[in-house]
Amino acid sequence: MILKASFTIKYVSVGDFRFSYIERGKRQGAENVILMVHGFTGDKGVWCLMGNALPKTFHLVAVDLPGHGYTTRKHHDDHSIPAQAAKLHQFVMAIGLDKRKFHLVGLSMGGFVAGIFAARYSSLLSSLVLMCPAGIKAPKLSDFFCQIANGGKNYLLPENPEDFNLMLKKQHSRAFYEKVLTEISHPDQRFLLHDVLEDIDVPTLALWGDNDEILDVSAVDIIREKVKDCEIQILDSCGHAITLERPWRSAKLILQFINSLAQRG
């Protein structure tokens, strides 16, 4: 998939911490620069289909978050969302993305990280795209969280090797992901994005699938209420995995959004 999308796999180190990322195009001379951040248990590859649908004149970067994909995993590090946003800032500085403003796109947990990043480092951004982000206290609890609250099975952390291999492929990752999930779902952490939405002062696009069973679509009402400059787009007959279920539609909506910013002058 990476080769089809014309991405190149790269690495950059900050001290003893190594980030893995994929890149298409060059920042210099690019029409727009987009940094993409995946969700919990995902990796940079989830962006390839959508990336392939974006103009070749765009400089695209997708990074593996700490402990995900081929980025350094340190089990005892802080993996709270603020800590991940700080790591993302280190990555941005390390590869020189701070040299010009860029568009930040985040999916699910990556949307949570991107939202916190935008609230902290808005001067670096042209815009923010939140794709079904975690971290918002939605008016309606999703089917997934209702099931977990009632003691049901957590499909993000499968309980047998067959289910686990389907999602994670490497069984030894389970302990790490359990730790991350525990940190980001702590009562002091789980709704941090909700609390800083009003601090986001860059143009924001929110994309959400109307059939999302992981994070309920009703959260868009909170985004609409709290983010000063936002656009909401609901994808019909789409679940939580937006980049895989609707890669071309997502790319089209993001492109339209970015073009609309240029028209503002």
Q: Which two tokens stand for residue 83?
A: 């800590």
> How does pLDDT run across 119-135, given as a tens digit for each residue?
999 999 999 999 999 99
Active site residues: 108, 212, 240
Which residue, among 219, 241, 242, 244, has the nearest Cα to 232 in the 3D structure?
A: 219
Q: Which has more confidence, 164 or 110?
A: 110
Q: What does the pLDDT read at residue 1?
A: 47
Instruction: Provide the whole-model pTM.
Output: 0.90
Separation in Å, CA 86 to CA 41, 90, 212:
19, 6, 28
Distance CA 262, CA 58 (A): 14
Tell whether the model's pLDDT for residue 167 goes beyond 60. no
Is 70 exceeded by the pLDDT of residue 164?
no
The 3-class SS string of the chain reads CCCCCCCEEEEEEECCEEEEEEEECCCCCCCEEEEEECCCCCCHHHHHHHHHCCCCCEEEEEECCCCCCCCCCCCCCCCCHHHHHHHHHHHHHHCCHHHCCEEEEEECHHHHHHHHHHHHCHHHEEEEEEECCCCCCCCCCCHHHHHHHCCCCCCCCCCCHHHHHHHCCCHHHHHHHHHHHHHHCCCCCCCHHHHHHHHCCCCEEEEEECCCCCCCCCHHHHHHHHCCCEEEEEECCCCCCHHHHCHHHHHHHHHHHHHHHHHCC
Task: Please give the Cα distance from 27 to 255 (Å, whole number).
Answer: 17
Phi–psi pair at 95, nearest 5 degrees: -100, 5
- Counting residues of the chain whose pLDDT is more than 90, the rounded percentage is 72
How do beta strands 125-131 and 204-209 pair? parallel
Mean pLDDT for the stretch of residues 30-57: 95
